[in-house]
Amino acid sequence: MSYDVDLNFIFRLPTKILFGPGTAKEVGMEVDELKGTKALIVTDRDLVKTDLVNFVRNALGTRCVGIFSDVTPDTGVHIINAGSEYGRSLGADILVSVGGGSAIDTAKGMAICLTKGGKLEDHAGLNMLGSPLIPHIVIPTTAGTGSEVTYAAVIKDHEQKRKLLFADNFLIPNIAILDPSMTTGMPKSLTAATGMDALCHCIEAIPSMQREPITDGLAFHGIRLIREFLPRAVQNGEDIVARGQMLIAATLGGAAFSNAQLGLVHALAHCVGAAFGVPHGVANSILLPHCILYNLDACPDLYARIAEAMGKEVRGMDPLKAAEQAAIAIWEFTRALGLPQTLREVNVEEAGLVQCANEALMDGTIVYNPKPVFDPDEVLKIYQNAF
Q: Which residues bind Fe ion (CB under 5 A)?
A: 197
Find the shortest distance in angstroms from Cβ 246 to Fe ion: 15
* 373 sits in which H/E element: none
* 218 sits in which H/E element: helix 213-235
User: Residue 333 and residue 322: Cα distance in Å, rounded?
Assistant: 17
Find the shortest distance in angstroms from Cβ 316 to Fe ion: 34
Using the minimum distance from each CB to Fe ion, give the nearer residue, 114 or 186. Answer: 186
Question: Measured between alpha carbons, how far is residue 94 from residues 77, 131, 332 in Å?
Answer: 20, 16, 44
Using the minimum distance from each CB to Fe ion, give the nearer residue, 197 or 216. Answer: 197
Find the shortest distance in angstroms from Cβ 197 to Fe ion: 4
Using the minimum distance from each CB to Fe ion, give the nearer residue, 15 or 84. Answer: 15
Using the minimum distance from each CB to Fe ion, give the nearer residue, 24 or 154. Answer: 154
Residue 355 φ/ψ region, left for φ over 0, alpha for ψ in the -120 to 50 degree band, beta for the rest: alpha
Using the minimum distance from each CB to Fe ion, give the nearer residue, 31 or 256. Answer: 256
SS3 string, 248-273, reads HHHHHHHHHHHHHCCCHHHHHHHHHH
Tell me the three state secondary structure of residue 357: helix
Amino acid present at 51:
D
Question: Measured between alpha carbons, how far is residue 194 from residues 100, 140, 144, 149, 247 in Å?
Answer: 9, 12, 4, 16, 11
Using the minimum distance from each CB to Fe ion, give the nearer residue, 27 or 255. Answer: 255
Find the shortest distance in angstroms from Cβ 147 to Fe ion: 9
Find the shortest distance in angstroms from Cβ 55 to Fe ion: 27
Find the shortest distance in angstroms from Cβ 177 to Fe ion: 21
Question: Measured between alpha carbons, how far is residue 58 from residues 23, 27, 141, 168, 266 in Å?
Answer: 13, 10, 17, 32, 38
Shortest Cβ contact with Fe ion: which residue?
197
